[in-house]
């Protein structure tokens, strides 16, 4: 019995953003660094290709994410990978309702997609293979690890309960006190403001270069500043979310640093283009 994950446009969103961002990064590095900067060019291109390769794997995972119930085990399909969970290894089946406070330990997410190792405060660690986890998910505690799944309906959880002869435990995250499940990034207005400002600064920088750089006579290295600003943005948002769960101020500071550095890059570009 094959069961689809909750509907999501994560693949198409990831594909569009990936092509735009990685396409610009590769072009920007090659354009801004000449033959005399081969060492620096390779130092930037190698990690860029590495992250692009990882992103392709993640993107393929978002395209092929489903679950299958066999006679004596559950199969989780993710990309070209297949994870087998025998029913005999399942200890507890939990239906998580409400909005969980999930933060990445070693995972990746974008709207409509979440994969990797996460921590769900108030629940515990979880390996997510999910599309819409903030709408609730199936939490399986097994001897092979804890899994978070987002099937399209209740067929999966009901079938697992029947095959394993386990009762379904319902956990409503909205009813758990903040002292236990922690404060969510999505509910912190100041964090969201800083996050949005980082995006606004990047977009403003990109638009400014697109309009005023061509024909300005400014050195090509100006384009590299935007490439570095993009890399810093993704580094900061991935680490700020983790740090926030242990220190709210630490998360704020990382985002503020991102704003400051992008602002400095914009000022440098202004001075170069206006000269």
Among 197, 265, 184, 190, residue whose Cα is nearest residue 231? 265
Same domain, 189 and 177: no
Specify whether 177 is located in the same domain as 258. Answer: no
Are 201 and 159 in a shared domain?
no
Residue 93 lies in a domain: yes
- 248-274 and 189-212 helices, crossing angle to 10°: 20
Domain boundary pick from 156, 181, 206: 181
Question: In terms of domains, do 112 and 150 share one?
Answer: yes
Domain enclosing residue 223, as ranges: 185-269
Domain end among 132, 150, 181 = 181
Same domain, 236 and 205: yes
pLDDT at 128: 96
DSSP string, 7-56: P--HHHHHHHHHHHHHHHHHHHHHHHS-GGGHHHHHHHHHHHHHHHHHHH
Same domain flag for 190 and 263: yes
Position 44 in a domain = yes
**Does 72 reside within a domain?**
no
Name the residue among 81, 88, 167 with its Cα closest to residue 116: 81
Residues 203 and 177 in one domain: no
User: What's the pLDDT score for residue 179?
Assistant: 78
Q: Is residue 189 part of a domain?
A: yes
- Structurally, the chain folds into a number of domains equal to 3
Q: How far apart are CA 73 and CA 81, in angstroms?
A: 16
Co-location of 99 and 145 in the same domain: yes
**Which pLDDT does position 275 carry in this prediction?**
54
In a domain, 68, yes or no: no
pLDDT, averaged per 10 consecutive residues of the chain (275 residues), comes to: 91 96 95 85 94 96 94 93 94 93 91 94 92 93 95 93 93 85 83 95 94 84 94 92 89 94 93 73
Do 251 and 194 meet the contact criterion of CB atoms below 8 Å apart? no
Neighbours of 169 (CB within 10 A): 12
User: Does 37 reside within a domain?
Assistant: yes
| pLDDT at residue 186 in the model | 79
pLDDT of residue 274: 66
Distance between first and last Cα of the chain: 67
Last residue of a domain, one of 181, 213, 237: 181
Residue 144 lies in a domain: yes
Report pLDDT for 205: 95
Query: Is 190 a domain residue?
Result: yes
pLDDT value, residue 225 = 94
Please give the Cα distance from 222 to 275 (Å, whole number).
13
Pairwise CA distance, residues 207 & 136, whole Å: 38
């Amino acid at each position: 019995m094959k069961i689809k994950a909750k509907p999501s446009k994560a693949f198409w969103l990831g594909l569009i953003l990936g092509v735009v961002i990685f396409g610009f990064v590769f072009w920007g590095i090659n354009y801004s660094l000449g033959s005399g900067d081969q060492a620096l060019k390779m130092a930037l291109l190698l990690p860029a290709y590495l992250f692009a390769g990882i992103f392709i794997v993640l993107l393929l995972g978002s395209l092929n994410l489903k679950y299958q119930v066999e006679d004596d085990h559950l199969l989780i399909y993710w990309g070209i990978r297949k994870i087998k969970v025998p029913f005999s290894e399942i200890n507890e089946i939990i239906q998580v309702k409400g909005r969980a406070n999930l933060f990445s330990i070693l995972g990746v997410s974008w709207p409509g997609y979440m994969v990797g190792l996460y921590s769900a405060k108030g629940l515990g660690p979880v390996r997510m293979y999910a599309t819409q986890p903030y709408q609730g998910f199936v939490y399986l505690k097994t001897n092979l690890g804890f899994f978070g799944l987002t099937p399209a309906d209740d067929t999966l959880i009901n079938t697992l309960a029947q095959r394993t002869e386990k009762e379904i435990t319902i956990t409503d995250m909205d009813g758990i006190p903040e002292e236990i499940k922690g404060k969510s990034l999505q509910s912190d207005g100041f964090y969201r403001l800083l996050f949005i400002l980082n995006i606004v600064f990047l977009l403003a920088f990109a638009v400014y270069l697109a309009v005023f750089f061509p024909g300005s006579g400014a050195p090509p290295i100006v384009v590299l500043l935007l490439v570095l600003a993009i890399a810093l943005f993704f580094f900061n948002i991935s680490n700020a979310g983790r740090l926030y769960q242990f220190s709210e101020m630490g998360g704020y500071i990382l985002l503020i640093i991102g704003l400051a550095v992008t602002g400095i890059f914009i000022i440098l570009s202004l001075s170069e283009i206006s000269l």
